[in-house]
């Protein structure tokens, strides 16, 4: 199989993390709880420095355990989240008994905020990593766990399947990134949602996904397949199906697409991956505006955002669609000059989470 153009997906994020946050993204006061199928040796809490390759066309660099003078992503101190036994399943009668199960070879952890109250329905957010990344690397890059503690939502950052090249992927659309692999990640992610529903009191009107690149493609796929479950998605540098007929959402889903105009991996205006077309950011949101009953033409907003720290000023413009179904929004945030893996500003994660939490199922 030819080398995909995005084969170094997200690996540069480790360099950004090591240089910029020194493990701060892992700091919180909630509890990280393994799924009931998780072996005792498995945990999403990092215990050693993350090792990965940063690949370009002319240099290969390996980031291993840095010297003692460099920041190291290690196990959080004892005041940070700990791994505990899963709680008793919720007795909420609104949760159906699922028929699927969580594959034991892909365990996951649930981060539970300290404010969690089993008597109160709680939002659930799933973060989906990019091609060749992992859930832990994606969390280090996005830094959503502290927000889960602050905002009080349940949080999972699972791992995709490992392909023949040793890269983890999500089998999302025909363009990205299963490459003739028949793994059913749509069913797998639903099995995670059902497992969390069994163990916690999940607010079934507030189940959200956010993903980068391949994870963004997979977020769109979940909105297509499980619109009755997913309330809203955020995609950074992902895309929906190029063929709109391949997606038939049963009900509206709120969508936010964030994309840099200088993305050389998943092009802002669309392209193809090993011969399979994907739509650009404008086309992706226009397609979902149609699904959601909105007017077909986006409306520019006067609002601007600062999402990329390496670009001066508020570089991100906002476009919305009018006339959508009640409680539904479709938005495009265009990062002028933004690359595929931007150095995220301190406002990126809060802005993305704000969009999700403000868009429950009507």
Q: How many domains does the chain have?
A: 1
Structure tokens at 67: 């010297």
Residue 97 lies in a domain: yes
Q: Is residue 50 part of a domain?
A: no
Determine, yes or no, domain membership for 313.
Answer: yes
Q: Is the residue at 16 inside a domain?
A: no
Is pLDDT of 80 > 90? no
End-to-end CA distance of the chain: 44
Is residue 53 assigned to a domain?
no
Check which CATH number belongs to the domain holding 116 and give it.
3.40.50.1820
Considering only residues 341 and 41, tell me which one the structure prediction assigns the higher pLDDT: 341
Write out pLDDT tens, residues 247-296: 999 999 999 999 999 999 999 999 999 999 999 999 999 999 999 999 99
**pTM, 2 dp:** 0.79
38-59 per-position pLDDT tens digit: 333 333 333 222 223 322 322 2
By residue range, what is the domain housing residue 249?
A: 29-43+77-357
- Average pLDDT for the chain: 80
Query: Which residues lie below 8 Å from residue 254, measured CB to CB, with a gap of 6+?
Result: 231, 232, 233, 292, 327, 328, 329, 330, 355, 359
pLDDT at 215 over 60: yes
CA pair distance 62, 150, nearest whole angstrom: 34
User: Encoding tokens for residue 149?
Assistant: 């503690």
pLDDT at residue 9 is higher than 70: no
Ramachandran angles phi, psi of 280, nearest 5°: -75, 180
Nearest to residue 177, comparing CAs of 189, 185, 34, 235? 185
């Amino acid at each position: 199989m030819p080398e995909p153009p995005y084969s170094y997906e997200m690996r540069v994020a480790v360099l950004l993390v090591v240089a910029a946050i020194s493990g701060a993204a892992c700091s919180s006061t909630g509890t990280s709880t393994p799924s009931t199928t998780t072996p005792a040796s498995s945990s999403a809490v990092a215990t050693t420095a993350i090792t990965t390759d940063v690949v370009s066309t002319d240099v290969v660099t390996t980031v291993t355990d840095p010297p003692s003078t460099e920041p190291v992503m290690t196990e959080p101190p004892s005041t940070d989240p700990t791994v505990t036994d899963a709680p008793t399943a919720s007795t909420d009668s609104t949760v159906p008994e699922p028929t699927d199960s969580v594959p034991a070879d892909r365990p996951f952890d649930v981060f539970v905020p300290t404010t969690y109250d089993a008597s109160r329905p709680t939002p659930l957010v799933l973060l989906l990593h990019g091609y060749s990344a992992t859930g832990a690397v994606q969390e280090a890059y996005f830094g959503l766990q502290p927000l889960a503690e602050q905002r009080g939502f349940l949080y999972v950052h699972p791992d995709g399947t490992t392909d023949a090249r040793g890269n983890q992927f999500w089998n999302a659309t025909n363009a990205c990134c299963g490459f003739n692999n028949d793994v059913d990640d749509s069913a797998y992610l639903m099995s995670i949602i059902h497992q969390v529903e069994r163990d916690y009191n999940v607010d079934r009107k507030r189940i959200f996904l956010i993903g980068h690149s391949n994870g963004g493609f997979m977020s769109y796929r979940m909105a297509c397949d499980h619109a009755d479950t997913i309330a809203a998605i955020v995609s950074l540098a992902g895309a929906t199906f190029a063929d709109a007929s391949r997606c038939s959402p049963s009900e509206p889903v709120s969508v936010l697409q964030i994309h840099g105009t200088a993305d050389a991996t998943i092009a802002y205006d669309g392209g193809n991956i090993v011969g399979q077309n994907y739509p650009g950011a404008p086309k992706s949101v226009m397609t979902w505006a149609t699904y959601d009953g909105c007017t077909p033409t986006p409306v520019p907003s006067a609002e601007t955002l600062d999402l990329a720290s390496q670009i001066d000023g508020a570089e991100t413009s906002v476009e919305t669609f009018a006339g959508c179904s009640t409680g539904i929004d479709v938005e495009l945030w265009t990062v002028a000059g933004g690359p595929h893996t931007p150095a995220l500003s301190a406002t990126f994660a809060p802005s993305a989470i704000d969009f999700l939490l403000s868009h429950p199922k009507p």
